[in-house]
Structure formats: structure tokens, C-alpha cells
Structure 1
Amino acid sequence: MGTHVKESLTLSPYFLWILIHGTQMRSTLLIFQNSIIKGAEMDAWLSFMLVGVSFHLLIAMMFYLLKHAAEGDIISLHNQLFGKWLGKLLTFAFYGYILLFIVNELRAYMEVIHVWVFPNTQLWSLSVLFLLISAYIVAGGLRVITGITLVCVLIPTMLIPSLYYPLKHAHWTNFLPMFNHTGYQYAESAYHSLSSFLGAEFLLLLYPFIKNQEKSKKWAHLAVAHSTIIPLLIALVSFAFLNLQELSHIIWPTLMLSKIISFPVLERFDYVYIFIWFFVIISPCCVGLWGGTRILKKTIGLRPRPALWITISIVFVIMLPMKSPLVINKLDSALTLSGWILMYGYLPLLCIWVGLRNWLANTKRTAST
């Protein structure tokens, strides 16, 4: 397999850990608790953990597919398997998924800013601000995005010790009775858990930019494990601090955990959470914009700068009419459904198709000899 990427543009394998983990840590961490309890209720942590485990299998599938791609990405693989026109159509479908990913991320965070901090600010002005910052970072290239993502991963991690304060008021009886739900209820919670893991699929575009690609597998799996442990820890603390009825009615449970924290010089610690969360969402937005830019560059031959501004313009236009808070739930539902189709439907079918092609090619080669 050839990657056709200049050596100066590639990254060391361990940066794949930073990129995948940074892309998976998103605004969903503020609200995922009241989604995953739909079904298995307080046992939802088990469904969440199983989805995290299943992502290791999905990562293995992606590496298998990319190993057989001519240029090491989903774009060239589509062209190999389905021809030029159908391949481009499928790649543009992936581009549409990326747009949905970015819009969902930005709109969810802007609602937090709008409700908690600046209620009189116009949403379009916040959109322009976030998109311009993201554009500035993406224009620097993947290495700049990786450096920013490293910072964005480290800063929010420092908030984890703050979970100690709600733990002091934990009610562990909230978990009882345990394991008393049906398989369907666990599956329903698993379905709603997927949104917290989306972002790993950008490996399908990042792979050619990684040096020593065989050695990068362990870092991708480490990223998924890292992205499973942190939300799982937040979920367990949330379940211990808030009962089922409270979780069902609170929109941002993670922010509620921070509201009980106060210091003599800092009364509203939840503001710290909100503004530091900007560093959480900037990573997936930048990686998403970079991925959309690369798709436009490789499919229709646009230069990177115009492709970036076209992608940003489309995102902005899509977000303009989304003024109602109800649209956030619809966006998250659409992204979750699209993610399930992509990760648990399309990728396994691609693996089967690539495996059959290789088996037929080996059979013909053996017959001819």
C-alpha cells in the first residue's frame, strides 16, 4: 500500500492516540447521562462499557480496510471497490456525515454558552467566532491540529479531580437493584451510548499521515480505551450523585456535578467547566473540518484553502436556521443513527467485500499456477 504523503507531513504513531481521543471527547460528555439511561436505567454503565469494547473491534476493521486501500484512506478504497463515480458518491456521503458531526458539536456547545453564560448573544455570532478560530487552526495543517489537540486533551483532564466533590455526597444505593433489565433494554442504552464514541471513524482519513502504520495500532486502541474510561467514570459518579428521576429531567448532568463546587475566590466553578469545555470541542471540530477539506481536495481537485472555506460556509449555512433548542436532540439522534449505520453496518460489509475480493484473487492466482 502506498500512502502518497510527504514525509514532512506525517506524524509519529503515538499522535494517533491524541487525535482519536481528542476527537471522541466532545460536548456529549455534558449530556450523555440522560440519554444512556433510556432502557437499562442505572445499569446503563454496563451497556456503555460494552460499546467501548466493541469499538476495539471496529478499530481493527478499519486497520484491515486501510491496509488494502491503494492510498491508505477511505477515499481511495471507495474508488477501488466501486469505481470512480459510485466511489465518489459514497465518499460524498461520508462528507455529509462529517458536516453533521461538526454541526452537532458546535450547536450543542453554543446552547450551553447561550443558556448558562450569554443569554442575549445571537447564535450566529457565536457560530462565526468558533468557525473562524477553527479555520485558523485547520489552515496550519494536520501537525498544527495535532499540537492544539494535545493541549485540548491535557487541559480538560485536569478537571477529573473535581469529581471528588460530588463523590462525597454519593448515594451508592442508586445502583440497586443491579442487572435486572432485559436484553432489549441493554441494547437500547447501548444504542444511545454510541454518540459518546463517535470520532474514531476519522482514522479512515488520518491513516496515510501516520508513520510506521503497523505500530500505530496499539495507540489507536489506547485512544479508544482512554475515551471509554473517562466517560464511564463520569457516568458512575453521576449515577451515584443523582437518582434516576433527577437524571431524566436534568439537561446537562455533568455541569450539575460542578455546581456544588465552590471556593472562597471562585463561587461559580461551573463557569470554569463551561469555558474549559471550549478546548474539548475545538479538537473534533478542527479534525472534522480537516477531514471535509481533504475529501473535497481528493474528489473534485479543490485546493485546500478554498475547500476549507467551502466546508465552513456549508456548516454555517446549515446552522443558521437552527435556533430552537429542540433541534439539538434531533441533531444528536440523526448523528447517532448515521453513526450506527456507518460503524456497525457499512464498515463490516466493506470488510466482508474486501475479504471476498482477496479470497477470489488468491484463488485465481493459485489456479493459474
Structure 2
Amino acid sequence: MENQQRNFGTWQLTSIMISSMIGVSILTIPRTSTVLLHQMGWISPILGCLLASLAVAAIVYLGKQFPGTTFVEFMPRIFGTVLGAICVFLFILYQFFNAGITARLFGEVVVTSVLPNTPLEAVIITLLLLVVFLCCHEIEVVARVNELLIPFLLLPSLLIPLVSLMNADWYNLLPFQIESWTNVMKTGLNTYTLYTGYELLMVYFAFAIPGARLGVASMTGMSFALIVYVITVVAGIAVFGYEELQRLVWPTLELIKVTQKTGWFLERFESAFLAIWVASVFTTIGNMLYATIFSLRRLFRKGLRFQQITAIVTMVPLFFLTLVPKNIVELFSFTQQFTTVGLLITIFIPILLAITQFIRNQFNNVREVNNEKGGT
């Protein structure tokens, strides 16, 4: 296996994390967050963040324990060859399917909102070709692309929901009352998926420079995503009310249409927003698929040529995978079922890895102390 330079700084890791987490879900979050919690739906992103933060803390711990190695190397070292190989396979498969779902959601948004006469297949193929091009380069290119595009993501993500609050009816947020704690738990388990993408750090942390602050990068990324999601949900509820949100497929786009009526922006501002949003989705899917294909490269101990061939070959099944749901209702249903699988792979496995490694370290420390006492 070729040795690759570790040259990702703290800001580059932060950019990768933010770009990986903020994507398609920002367009649906006002609706999904208010299904069970109604006017208190703004709590949903906070609950999801708390759950995801446990896994992020575990990944940071693993990154510090195994510097310069990806999950492909350290999972078998922690869990053993067989169980570790199963976990590696599950992680790679999860990222592949997740990228497919995200690509299909992207296609649906573009076709229904901007290009109604364009075939869905054409939109998805165009996106996948761009991702293939990214996957044909070394990993440093991924960091540079994320770093380059992150400014275009940060400002609109915060500005649009804030400006839309000019049309808010604050009574829509009342009363401040939780009707069912069971629904709170269900919503928390569902909305952690807003932050999925953090698990990719089990690949990208391997290329952090020795002085990079993994904890700072992770906390900054999670904090920004949390602020964006909470503001977006608050704006959605305040402007439309939770009942109306359930009737909107892409509620955040409707927020943008309300925003442009204030006179702040040009006509058809949602098209301009989607142009920026395309860059966000590109980095999200690009980071996922790059991590998947690069992991296969590390698994088989191959070089860049293997990665390029794998990227081209895997795009064919991925394209057909995106077309499996017959309509948007099936797509949302499939996404919901996929959430349960993701809970195991992105939450449970990283935490279990960190706990196992921590116990092993404690056991080794006790054994070393005993050996020293025995030697004396």
C-alpha cells in the first residue's frame, strides 16, 4: 500500500464535515421535524445533534488512537479479522446506498423545481459524471474542492431562513409544550440522519496533519450544521405553521419563494439558490463516493489506477440503484427504512469501536504496570 501524505488541516477537515452533512435534507427538514412534534419541531435538530455527537466523539477518539489509518485498517485491529471485515463491508455498502439515495433526491428536486422538461435520468447522470471525475484524483483534491466551495454554502444557508423570518407569525411557535416524550424519542432517532456524513471522518481523519485539531474540526462542523437546521425549522414553522408544512414536499424552497417577495432579491431567486445548492449536493455525494471507492483501494492495497477503474465501474450499478424507487413517495419510504440501518452503522459501530479500544487500552496499561512491578 502506497504511503500518502498527511496534509489535511483543521479547516479542511471542518469544510469536509460541513459539506458532507448539509445537502438534500435541508430542503425537507421543516416538514420531517414537525410530523410528530408539531410546533415544537425545532427541538428535532437538537435531539439529532446530541445523538450524532456521541458517534462523532467516538470517531475523534479513534482518529487520535490510530493516526494515519482509515477504518479499513483499524476496524480489524479492534474487532478482529472476521468481525472487522464485516463492519468494513457494511460501512462501504452503506455509503454506496446513501450516495444513491442522495443522488435520486437531488434529481427529484431539480426536475420538479427547475427543469420540469428534463428527464430525471439526464440530471442524475450529469451529477454522477462529475462525481466520477472527482473520484479519479488523489484525496488531496477532495479537500481542496470542499475548501473552495464551502464559502458558497455558508452564507446562503444562514441568510435565507433569517430573511424569511420577516414574514413570520411567531404565534405559530406556540405553545411551548411537549405532548409526548415518546414522539420526542422517535423524532430524535429519525433526525440524526440530518448529520450523517460525519462518519466519513473515519476515512478523512487519516490524512490530518499531526497538528490538526480533530475535536475542534468536528465541533465546528456539528455546531454550524445544528444552527442552520434549527434556524431553518424555526423559519418554516413561523412562516407556514406546522399543518401547512405537512403539505409541502420541499418546504425550504417555499421559504425562498416567500423571501424573494420581500424585495431583497431578484425574481426566481429559488433558481439561484438551487445553483448554489447543487454545489453542496455535489460535495456531499462526492465525499461519500470518494470515501467508498478510496476505502476499496485501501482494502485491496492498490493504487490510483485501481481507484479510477473502480469509480467508473461502480457508477453503472449506482445509476440503476437511483432509479429503483418508482416515485417520490417510494423514495421517501425507502429513505425512512434506510434510517434504521444507518443507526447501526453510523452510531452503534463507531461507539462500540471506541469503547472496545478504550477498554483494551486500560487493560494494557494495567498489564504494563503489573509487568513493571514483577520486574522489580
TM over 0.5: yes
**Structure 2 vs 1, CA of residues 366 and 139 (structure 1 numbering), >3 Å: closer, same or farther?**
same
Q: Match for 1:368: what amino acid?
A: N
- Work out whether residues 173 and 237 of structure 2, in 8 Å CA contact, stay in contact via their aligned partners in 1: yes
Residues paired across the two proteins, number: 366
Deviates more, 1:240-249 or 1:152-161: 152-161
Q: Match for 1:210: what amino acid?
A: A
Aligned partner of 1:161 in structure 2 is: 159
Report deviation, 1:47.
3.2
Aligned partner of 1:81 in structure 2 is: 78
Q: Deviations over 1:328-351 (max 9, x none)?
A: 213321332223222332222222
- Work out whether residues 292 and 308 of structure 1, in 8 Å CA contact, stay in contact via their aligned partners in 2: no
Aligned partner of 2:22 in structure 1 is: 25
Aligned partner of 1:280 in structure 2 is: 280
Q: Distance in 2 between matches of 1:70 and 1:241?
A: 47
Report deviation, 1:313.
2.6
Report deviation, 1:42.
1.6
Aligned partner of 1:36 in structure 2 is: 33
1:327 aligns with 2:325: no
1:300 aligns with 2:297: no
1:347 pairs, out of 347, 350, 355, with 350
Q: Distance in 2 between matches of 1:99 and 1:320?
A: 14
Aligned residues: CA RMSD? 2.3
1:363 aligns with 2:366: yes
Instruction: Report 1:115-126 matches (<5 A).
Output: 115-126=112-123
- Work out whether residues 44 and 186 of structure 1, in 8 Å CA contact, stay in contact via their aligned partners in 2: no
Aligned partner of 1:228 in structure 2 is: 226
Aligned partner of 2:43 in structure 1 is: 46
Secondary structure of the structure 1 residue equivalent to 2:61: helix
Secondary structure of the structure 2 residue equivalent to 1:39: helix
Q: Match for 2:329: what amino acid?
A: L
Aligned partner of 1:217 in structure 2 is: 215
Q: Match for 2:77: what amino acid?
A: Q
Q: Distance in 2 between matches of 1:106 and 1:324?
A: 14
1:338 aligns with 2:336: no
Secondary structure of the structure 2 residue equivalent to 1:111: helix
Secondary structure of the structure 2 residue equivalent to 1:168: helix
Q: Match for 1:334: what amino acid?
A: Q
Deviates more, 1:316-325 or 1:31-40: 316-325
Q: Provide the TM-score with structure 1 as the length reference.
A: 0.91
Deviates more, 1:76-85 or 1:218-227: 76-85
Q: Deviations over 1:80-137 (max 9, x none)?
A: 1233344222211101110122112111110011112222322222221101111112
Secondary structure of the structure 2 residue equivalent to 1:181: coil
Report deviation, 1:186.
1.3
Q: Match for 1:74: what amino acid?
A: F
Q: Deviations over 1:123-178 (max 9, x none)?
A: 22222110111111232332222222233322133323333542122111111111
**Structure 2 vs 1, CA of residues 234 and 265 (structure 1 numbering), >3 Å: closer, same or farther?**
closer
- Work out whether residues 103 and 318 of structure 1, in 8 Å CA contact, stay in contact via their aligned partners in 2: yes
Identity %: 19
Q: Deviations over 1:268-295 (max 9, x none)?
A: 2222222221011011111111101111
Aligned partner of 2:56 in structure 1 is: 59
**Structure 2 vs 1, CA of residues 297 and 363 (structure 1 numbering), >3 Å: closer, same or farther?**
same
1:290 aligns with 2:290: yes
- Work out whether residues 101 and 322 of structure 2, in 8 Å CA contact, stay in contact via their aligned partners in 1: no
- Work out whether residues 30 and 252 of structure 1, in 8 Å CA contact, stay in contact via their aligned partners in 2: yes
Q: Deviations over 1:218-240 (max 9, x none)?
A: 12211111111111111111111
- Work out whether residues 51 and 188 of structure 2, in 8 Å CA contact, stay in contact via their aligned partners in 1: no
- Work out whether residues 36 and 190 of structure 1, in 8 Å CA contact, stay in contact via their aligned partners in 2: no
Deviates more, 1:101-110 or 1:332-341: 332-341
Gaps of 5+ in 1: none
Q: Distance in 2 between matches of 1:291 and 1:75?
A: 11
Secondary structure of the structure 2 residue equivalent to 1:40: helix
Gaps of 5+ in 2: none
